[in-house]
């Protein structure tokens, strides 16, 4: 029986996800709205309200302009549309890096305003004291190492990480530091397979991969990528549908029918009952 059937009636919590190390893989998708949460929730363990909301919903060029207000609004929407999955909300750029106290203020606001059960933050060894500060004060934390998109200006792009021996070693040390600091799981993004294997063996919490191979304890994808909403998808994405094509086709048929007056028909028209 799958974990979601066994846990019916109770929302998954951080210890449930932590216990999945070496067990059933953790299923995670990003989610930003109530209707999508209702669709994804029965199939997922974790719904991640990612700061990818900036690009996916707002058409922003990166995650950097995303605000706490945006994360709170979308986090609350996803919690409203779900009952089973653990909902985790990303801490946006600038809301946590300054100090552990700043991170606590942001994370507690996110948890109060959304009802989510965890926050996610990017970074390695430099963020370990912050992860420790939050998790020892009642805030479950998901780490995020490897390719960290909020650091795009330092990294110089979104390419895979851990290609050199030094970089691979550094990412592994980041993961160990974040796990030791108390993160109950972590996203590992955009790393070579060998790096994922090393991290999976080095930490005792589940690592959830995105572009990080099958060596991880679970997987996450950006929902709009896997549904085929964008023309261009990164190599690590598998498209499970072509929603962009199907939406475009539906809109084309609708436009034709409006112009030819084939829509609406009597079926879609209010008339006195006869």
Catalytic annotation, residues: 189
What minimum distance in Å lies between the beta carbon of 91 and ligand KIV? 10
Task: Give me the residue whose beta carbon is nearest to ligand KIV.
Answer: 50
Residues forming a β-bridge with 208: 187, 218
Per-residue binder mask for ligand KIV (CB under 6 A), 18-47, x = binder? ------------x-----------------
Q: Which of 16, 18, 2, 11 is nearest to 217 (CA)?
A: 18
Sign of CA dihedral 195, 200, 204, 208: positive
Out of 16, 46, 52, 143, the only residue in the binding site for ligand KIV (CB under 6 A) is 52
In the complex with ligand KIV, the residue whose CB is nearer, 240 or 254, is 240
| Token digits of residue 103 | 């991170």
Residue from 187, 191, 192, 207 binding ligand KIV (CB under 6 A): 187
Residue list 3-22, contact with ligand KIV (CB under 6 A): none
Helix (H, G, I), strand (E, B) or coil at 66: coil
Phi/psi at 123 (nearest 5 deg)?
Answer: 130, 160
Binding mask 219-248 for ligand KIV (x = CB under 6 A): -x-x--------------------------
In terms of DSSP bridges, do strands 118-120 and 86-90 run parallel, antiparallel, or are they unpaired? parallel
Contact with ligand KIV (CB under 6 A) among 116, 183, 186, 210: 210
Burial class (CB in 10 A: 0-12, 13-18, 19+), 193: middle
The token pair that represents 152 in the structure block: 């795009």
Least distance CB 238 / ligand KIV (angstroms): 15
Contacting residues toward ligand KIV, per CB under 6 A: 30, 48, 50-52, 90, 187, 189, 210, 220, 222
């Amino acid at each position: 029986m799958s974990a979601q059937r066994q846990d019916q009636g109770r929302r998954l919590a951080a210890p449930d996800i932590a216990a999945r190390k070496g067990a059933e893989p953790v299923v995670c998708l990003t989610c930003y709205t109530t209707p999508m949460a209702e669709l994804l929730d029965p199939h997922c363990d974790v719904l991640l309200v990612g700061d990818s909301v900036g690009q996916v919903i707002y058409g922003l060029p990166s995650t950097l302009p995303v605000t706490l207000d945006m994360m709170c609004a979308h986090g609350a929407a996803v919690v409203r549309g779900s009952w089973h999955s653990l909902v985790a909300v990303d801490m946006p750029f600038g809301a946590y890096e300054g100090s552990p106290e700043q991170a606590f203020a942001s994370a507690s606001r996110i948890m109060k305003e959304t009802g989510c059960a965890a926050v996610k933050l990017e970074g390695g060894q430099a963020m370990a004291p912050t992860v420790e500060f939050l998790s020892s004060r009642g805030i479950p934390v998901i780490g995020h190492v490897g390719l960290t998109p909020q650091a795009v200006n330092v990294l110089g792009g979104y390419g895979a990480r851990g290609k050199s021996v030094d970089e691979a070693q550094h990412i592994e040390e980041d993961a160990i530091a974040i796990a030791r600091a108390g993160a109950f799981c972590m996203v590992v993004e955009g790393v070579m397979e060998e790096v994922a294997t090393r991290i999976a063996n080095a930490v005792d919490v589940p690592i959830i991969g995105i572009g990080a191979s099958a060596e991880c304890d679970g997987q996450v994808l950006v929902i709009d990528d896997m549904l085929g909403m964008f023309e261009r998808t990164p190599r690590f994405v598998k498209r499970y549908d072509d929603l962009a094509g199907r939406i475009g086709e539906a809109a084309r048929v609708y436009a034709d029918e409006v112009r030819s007056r084939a829509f609406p028909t009597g079926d879609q028209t209010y008339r006195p009952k006869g």
